[in-house]
Structure 1
Amino acid sequence: MKVELVTTLKRQATKTLADLHTSKEPVLITEHGQPSAYLIDVDDFEMMQKRMAILEGIARGEKAIKEGQVLSNESAKEQMKKWLK
């Protein structure tokens, strides 16, 4: 992963963005020697958001199972029929 100082980003934003689009490698921006932010490609960010939504759905499903909030196959089919009318 590439690391850039925030001052470098301020001075060379166009070059940093061009490099990012070419390499698709995230850039860690530091301020006062400490990590401050990540700069990532738009497509990569959108893909990560989609993956996060899927993982959150799985986590909700696992929680529902753990709490006993489940339906039988037949009950689920009946409820789906109501929604699909």
Structure 2
Amino acid sequence: MKVELVTTLKRQATKILADLHATKEPILITEHGQPSAYLVDVEDYEFMQRRMAILEGIARGEKAVFEGRTLSQEQAREKMQKWLK
């Protein structure tokens, strides 16, 4: 992963963004020697957001199973009947 200073980003934003789009490699931006932000390609960011939403859904499902909040197939069919017509 590339690392850039925030001052370099300020001075060379166009070049850094061009490199980002060409390589698709995230860039860690640092301020005063400390990590401050990541620059990622838009497509990669949107992909990560979709993946996170899926994982959050799986986690909610696992929690529901653990807590016993489940329905049988028949119960689910009855509950969803208004949308299945």
TM-score (norm 1): 0.96
The SS at the match of 1:3 is strand
Q: Is the counterpart of residue 21 in structure 1 residue 21 in structure 2?
A: yes
Q: Is the counterpart of residue 81 in structure 1 residue 81 in structure 2?
A: yes
**Structure 2: gaps of 5 or more residues:** none
Cα shift at 1:74: 0.8
Cα shift at 1:82: 2.2
Letter in 1 for 2:24: K
Provide the aligned length of Structure 1 versus Structure 2: 85
**Structure 1: gaps of 5 or more residues:** none
Partner residue of 1:40? 40
Partner residue of 1:10? 10
Cα shift at 1:83: 2.6
Question: After TM superposition, where is structure 1 displaced by more than 4 Å over at least 4 residues in a row?
Answer: none
Partner residue of 1:65? 65
Cα shift at 1:79: 1.3
Please give the alpha-carbon distance, in whole angstroms, between the structure 1 residues aligned to 2:61 and 2:83. Answer: 20
Cα shift at 1:84: 2.7
Root-mean-square deviation over aligned CA pairs: 0.7
What is the percentage of aligned positions where both structures have the same residue? 79
Please give the alpha-carbon distance, in whole angstroms, between the structure 2 residues aligned to 1:47 and 1:34. Answer: 27
Cα shift at 1:53: 0.2
Cα shift at 1:38: 0.1
- Identify the range of structure 1 (75-84 vs 60-69) with the bigger mean alpha-carbon deviation: 75-84
Letter in 1 for 2:23: S
